[in-house]
Structure 1
Amino acid sequence: MPHFKTSYLLSISFISALGGYLFGFDFAVISGALPFLRDQFGLNEYWEGFATGSLALGAIIGCLAAGRVADKYGRRPGLFLAALIFGVSSLAMAFASGLGLFITARFVAGIGVGMASLLSPMYIAEVSPAQYRGRMVSINQLTIVLGILITNLINYSLRNSGPDAWRWMFGLGAVPSALFIIGVIWLPESPRWLLKAGKEEKGREVLKKIGGEDFSVSSMELIKDSLKGNQKISYKAVFEKAVFPAVLIGIVLAVFQQFCGINVVFNYPSNIFASIGASKDDQLLQTVFIGGVNLFFTVLAMFLVDKIGRRPLMLFGAAALAILYVVIAQLLAVHSALVGLFLLAAIGTYAISLGPVTWVLISEIFPNHVRGAASSIAVLCLWAAYFILTFTFPVLAKWIGMHNTFYLYSGICMLGFLFIRTKVRETKGKTLEELESVFTPH
């Protein structure tokens, strides 16, 4: 039995997952800033949706760039570039003099988010032993929700700082960006990428640091076997008959994670709670409750994902959200204050299931030789779905009513449940190399 150096594994996983923290920051900061941005720039529902969703448009570019950087130059240079983009864009948003400059800066921030959303979980999956992989990859989701909670707390504390409070909200993102840059300098390269690039000795050393000599030898054999005959990588390879079924599953899961609708609760709590008569202070306070519940259930998911498994958690999340959304829709229709309680229940459900587990599955189910390209396509689709969701929510809420919008999300969750039940197989406890035979036909 290999003796894993868990302290080393945890340290490199947490450093990589700082990309998740910055993802959470850029994702959440808009919810506290929107009430100020509406006043600053006179946003209508279309510009509100575009200002929110522009992050996703940048993330699409980031995913495409990250996939190429990750496969050609390594996971570590990609993480460093993402960290640099985070820092520059945070300051650019803070000092934006007009709506056009602000949206451009948020688009650039999205490039960093897209790169980190792909590379952080990919890196963690590739350095983690099979029995720890689900828990380790979930660290990325943990840092995302920490970023959301801390950002919401800062936003709430700045609520009475005047009309320029939003500038401080965005500008403070430069601090964790600097920490991420410093941390990435210390990270080792992914051993799987090193072996694929022909740097066998360096890959051996990283694996020895993680699990000792025996683990290094056995892992190298598995990795090299999975890479035989697959040294030339291209996006075209992702659509080959042997690979595409796994890619399609990854795409559908990524799109479903967004179309399930929960991110409208994260991004538009001020709209939702304003519809039942909550004050601006109460709207911002609700974001703190949302962040706290999100954090608690994400931590719980970290302990369950390698015990209960991925598939049962995904099935639970889809079914429970479908039911909760029906209740939320009915409460919104009568302007009941109880809607807050059920929204928190929906957040908790998502945080223990679809939120972290989707990222775990995306990091696991693709074959080694196309993981960078396949992951980038799946995460690209995730961000495209996020843009559609966040852009359309203010418009749908005005056209068909906010309560009817949640009925729509409930129907999508029912369809997601059926897809997971029929197409997704369990992955817990299997090495990345063993999973190639699970998700790809031979």
Structure 2
Amino acid sequence: MKYNKTYIFGITLVATLGGLLFGYDTAVISGAEKSIEAYLVKPLGLNSLIHGATVSSALIGCIIGGVISGVFSNRFGRRKTLLIAAVLFFVSALGSGFPEAIFFSKGQPSIGLLLTFNFYRIIGGVGVGLASAVSPMYISEIAPADIRGRLVSFNQFAIIFGMLVVYFVNWGIAFGQSIDWINDVGWRYMFASEAIPAALFGMLLFLVPETPRYLVLSNRDEKARSVLSRINADKLRAEAIFSEIKQSIGRTTERSRIFSYGKMVILIGVLLSVFQQFVGINVALYYAPRIFESMGAAKDASMLQTIIMGFVNVVFTVVAILTVDKWGRKPLLITGSVGMAIGMFAISSLSYNEIIGISTLVFIIIYTASFMMSWGPICWVLISEIFPNKIRGQAVAVAVAAQWAANYLISSTYPAMMEYSGALTYGFYGLMAVISALFVWKMVPETKGKSLEEMESLWKK
């Protein structure tokens, strides 16, 4: 098919900055976590429970952002919702780095200062929730059908890349500095550094168009035709796509109710999100150094092994990008589920027999590589493309909110589960991987090469 590749990839690059900020915002706390404890928590005599709540406060905002993303993307449009997310990222970056500014003085650690810091982190979390839902949605509504999977997968790559970028930024800020300087000043620069990519994201969004699907949904047909003509070099093809969209959406500006196409499509979207988290990936990412230390690695060695995992994440996300539109969504998801099950069951067995060594690292790499080439990017691809045009905003919001809630549940229960039994904990994640494969095999439709309008016809049937 003929389309304007430079224009499409340029638009996608701007949209994936939302994914980069998603990764940046969720990972920036890793470098500042101990300083927050030293500067805001310990001087007030607060316990580790408050420290944990402070570190994870952004997750509250993520759930809120996921819930409201449907309302915002339908009312303001996909592009303006991303612009709102960019503003929230920018405000959160500066506010988290300099929470005293609200008091117009540096002041001393206080409950008010701690609450202000948490408020700004929650604002950033709302931005993450909005971007996590709307960035892949925006890309899927812009992209031609035969490369849509690849382009949406770029968003997952941007998330992982954003995490790597902030790890290096945090390291660069702290390098050669005293602990006292980092605890007093350095952590501020870590948070404030996010303002730079947030500002860039906001400015570049003024250069990209609204999606043609939303424009038709808003009765701006000529504008939709104009965008489709720029994307598709073949004018007849652009007009054919416009006709498909128009027929799919109809002539009314009314959005359909969320269950207009039945409950099954919503259930599949929610289960895709839940399984992506229930296989335990964020446990592997958030607690990787602790996992390696608990299995006998020294602290420095555990950090090195975490870096190796980060490299594996990037490489196998690229594998997904290169294969998603060739092999299809279902084969990649099922293959990934099998690989994750093998990795987790092996780690469970090693934990049960108290075997510690290079074999543990090998199976964790098998597990994370399997996730990154499958459920990491492909889940976002499917969530962005399986829902019919009329309910896409609402349905994506429900699925993304379910994902963040599942993320919180799995991450927060991991320490308690590990205290009970490491073997059973990893065995549980392996079992979830097996069930996820069966779920994809039986319930998830293949979307490779299908237009968004063709997917709608499937649910009508």
TM-score (norm 1): 0.92
Residue segments in structure 1 that go unaligned for 5+ positions in a row = none
The structural deviation recorded for 1:386 is 1.0
Distance in structure 2 (CA, Å) of the matches to 1:99 and 1:277: 35
Distance in structure 1 (CA, Å) of the matches to 2:288 and 2:174: 15
The structural deviation recorded for 1:39 is 4.9
8 A contact 1:49–1:390 mirrored in 2: no
1:105 corresponding residue in structure 2: 120
Task: Choose which of 77, 81, 84 in structure 2 pairs with 1:81.
Answer: 84
Q: Does 1:411 align with 2:431?
A: yes
The structural deviation recorded for 1:287 is 3.5
Q: Cα RMSD (Å) of the superposition? A: 2.2
1:238 corresponding residue in structure 2: 258
8 A contact 2:296–2:356 mirrored in 1: no
The structural deviation recorded for 1:259 is 1.2
The structural deviation recorded for 1:356 is 0.3
8 A contact 1:28–1:152 mirrored in 2: yes
The structural deviation recorded for 1:441 is 4.0
SS in 1 for 2:232: helix
Distance in structure 2 (CA, Å) of the matches to 1:269 and 1:380: 25
Task: Choose which of 147, 153, 157 in structure 2 pairs with 1:132.
Answer: 147
2:374 corresponding residue in structure 1: 353
Distance in structure 1 (CA, Å) of the matches to 2:172 and 2:29: 15
Distance in structure 1 (CA, Å) of the matches to 2:340 and 2:283: 13
Distance in structure 2 (CA, Å) of the matches to 1:282 and 1:152: 17
2:104 corresponding residue in structure 1: none
8 A contact 2:339–2:366 mirrored in 1: no
Distance in structure 2 (CA, Å) of the matches to 1:281 and 1:158: 19
The structural deviation recorded for 1:278 is 4.1
Q: Does 1:435 align with 2:435?
A: no
Q: Does 1:251 align with 2:261?
A: no
Task: Choose which of 98, 114, 118 in structure 1 pairs with 2:133.
Answer: 118
8 A contact 2:136–2:380 mirrored in 1: yes
1:218 corresponding residue in structure 2: 240
Rg: which structure is higher?
A: 2
SS in 2 for 1:238: coil
8 A contact 1:32–1:284 mirrored in 2: no
SS in 1 for 2:326: coil
The structural deviation recorded for 1:403 is 4.3
Query: Judging changes above 3 Å, is the alpha-carbon distance between structure 1 residues 403 and 48 closer, same or farther for their aligned structure 2 residues?
Result: farther
Distance in structure 2 (CA, Å) of the matches to 1:317 and 1:112: 29
Aligned residues: 436
8 A contact 1:76–1:188 mirrored in 2: yes
Residue segments in structure 2 that go unaligned for 5+ positions in a row = 100-108
Distance in structure 1 (CA, Å) of the matches to 2:288 and 2:31: 9
1:6 corresponding residue in structure 2: 5
1:344 corresponding residue in structure 2: 365
1:22 corresponding residue in structure 2: 21
Distance in structure 2 (CA, Å) of the matches to 1:174 and 1:222: 40
Distance in structure 1 (CA, Å) of the matches to 2:301 and 2:48: 21
Task: Choose which of 194, 197, 207 in structure 1 pairs with 2:215.
Answer: 194
The structural deviation recorded for 1:281 is 4.1
Q: Does 1:424 align with 2:449?
A: no
Task: Choose which of 308, 311, 333 in structure 1 pairs with 2:330.
Answer: 311
The structural deviation recorded for 1:48 is 5.7
Matches within 5 A, 1:165-180: 165-180=186-201
Structure 1, 256-265 or 358-367: larger mean CA deviation: 256-265
TM-score (norm 2): 0.88
The structural deviation recorded for 1:330 is 3.6
Query: How many percent of aligned residue pairs carry the same amino acid?
Result: 39
Structure 1, 356-365 or 329-338: larger mean CA deviation: 329-338
SS in 1 for 2:337: helix
